[in-house]
Amino acid sequence: MTPNTNRKKQPSRGIPRRKEQYRLWFEFLKLAHQSDKPIIQQALKASAAFYGPWEIDKYEKFDDWWKDKSNLFNDTLEVRKLEAGALPDTPECLVVQIPLNRTQSELLAAVRKVLAQHYDDIGKTSRKNRALATSAYGLTGKGEIKTDAVRETLSVYRDVKLRNRSSLKGKKLLAAIHDYYLRRRNKKWAVVPLPLQYDPESKDDLRRALRNMNRYLTNAESILLNVAQGEFPGHY
């Protein structure tokens, strides 16, 4: 195996970002069901009702599953008119009275004022700070989800580490990871993740790549447990 030393960055996937995030959740959940770790299996038992509507078959491909189950991820937080006497479906909504005897510009200004006061009351000065689930299966985590990083974390952990069990460690495992990427049939994707590339002439660079590899593996195990507990990707 020849280390990738030209610091090439992987291209972005063509799958819509939101769908790709749910695909990764789906793949991590399948992986959790295959785990022999007691803590993972215990978490899956506790979250069985939560995942019930998913009806995952361990042999089913994501795209086939998505055709039937994508409705599970529909947005439940939307601006809509409520019928008289009706209440929101979720506590994450604010009920506002809007009199119709005023101009549209006056109403918009009044609504903005009510929203600003609401966020001040709950200690939030900006809607951007609100990390709300927008479906029954909302994505969770600290800040924006790094989809590419989570994808490569899954690949390194599932497709290299687990397939080789514990037989490979350290530099040998890193070499296997490089080999896995560089042997991809589609040359467009035959690129080692940037954090795992290194200069073979530099011991410091190799140590950096090994640290990043170990971080990938640790993150994968954290995400796996989070998913078993009913959230993705969660904090890791």
Do 233 and 223 form a contact (C-beta atoms < 8 A)? yes
Q: Phi/psi of residue 59, each to 5°?
A: -100, -5
Q: Tell me what percent of the residues of the chain surpass a pLDDT of 90.
A: 54
Q: Which residue has the higher pLDDT, 53 or 127?
A: 53
> Alpha carbon of 129 to those of 110, 116, 143, 161, 162: distances in Å?
22, 13, 9, 36, 37
| Cis peptide bond N-terminal to 233, omega within 30 | yes
The confidence band for 13, taking pLDDT boundaries of 50, 70 and 90, is low
| Amino acid letter, 162 | L
Taking the C-alpha atoms of residue 74 and residue 66, their distance in angstroms, rounded to an integer, is: 12
Residue 182 tokens read as 């560089």
Indicate if the pLDDT at residue 93 is higher than 60: yes
Question: What are the boundaries of each domain within the chain?
Answer: 17-74+145-228, 77-134
Q: What pLDDT, on a 0 to 100 scale, did the predictor assign at position 3?
A: 61
Indicate if the pLDDT at residue 219 is higher than 90: yes
The confidence band for 90, taking pLDDT boundaries of 50, 70 and 90, is low
Q: What pLDDT, on a 0 to 100 scale, did the predictor assign at position 9?
A: 66
- The structure's pTM equals 0.72
Taking the C-alpha atoms of residue 232 and residue 23, their distance in angstroms, rounded to an integer, is: 11
The confidence band for 125, taking pLDDT boundaries of 50, 70 and 90, is very low
